[in-house]
Amino acid sequence: MYSSDMAKGILTKIDIDWLIDSMKVVFPTKEETTVKYDKLMEKLDKFVGDIKDKREAQELHTGDHQRIDKRVTRVESHLNLPPFAD
């Protein structure tokens, strides 16, 4: 709520207190920001860890496919079979 002095361009202590209280509703405190930042970083660390684990698993899986493909190719060659897939 604006006072008549505020309408004239003069801020009183009451006006300043009102503005500060109004900003507290809109802007988070440093502590709130720190807590939110910490939670975000924890989630991001978990996400990055999950991605890293999935990439490592994918690399192992790819290696398995390469070994199987090499073995199938040798068997096909040995038995004079046409390639099953290119």
Q: Which two tokens stand for residue 69?
A: 């493909």
Q: Is residue 85 part of a domain?
A: no
How many domains is the chain built from? 1
Residue 74 inside a domain? The answer is yes
pLDDT digits (tens, 9 = 90+) for 7-66: 667 888 998 999 988 888 888 888 989 999 999 999 999 999 999 999 999 999 998 899
Classify residue 43 by its DSSP letter: H
pLDDT at position 29, please?
84
47 belongs to a structural domain: yes
On whether the CB atoms of residues 18 and 1 are closer than 8 A, the answer is yes
The predicted pLDDT at position 4 comes to 60
Helices (H) and strands (E) in the chain, counts: 3, 0
- Residue 29 domain flag: yes
Kindly report, residue by residue over 70-84, the tens digit of the pLDDT.
999 999 999 988 887
> Which domain range does residue 74 map to?
4-78
Helix (H) or strand (E) segment spanning residue 11: none
Asked if the structure places residue 24 within a domain, the reply is yes
Contacts of 1 (CB under 8 A, 6+ apart): 18
Does residue 86 form part of some domain? Answer: no
For residue 2, pLDDT over 60 is answered with: no
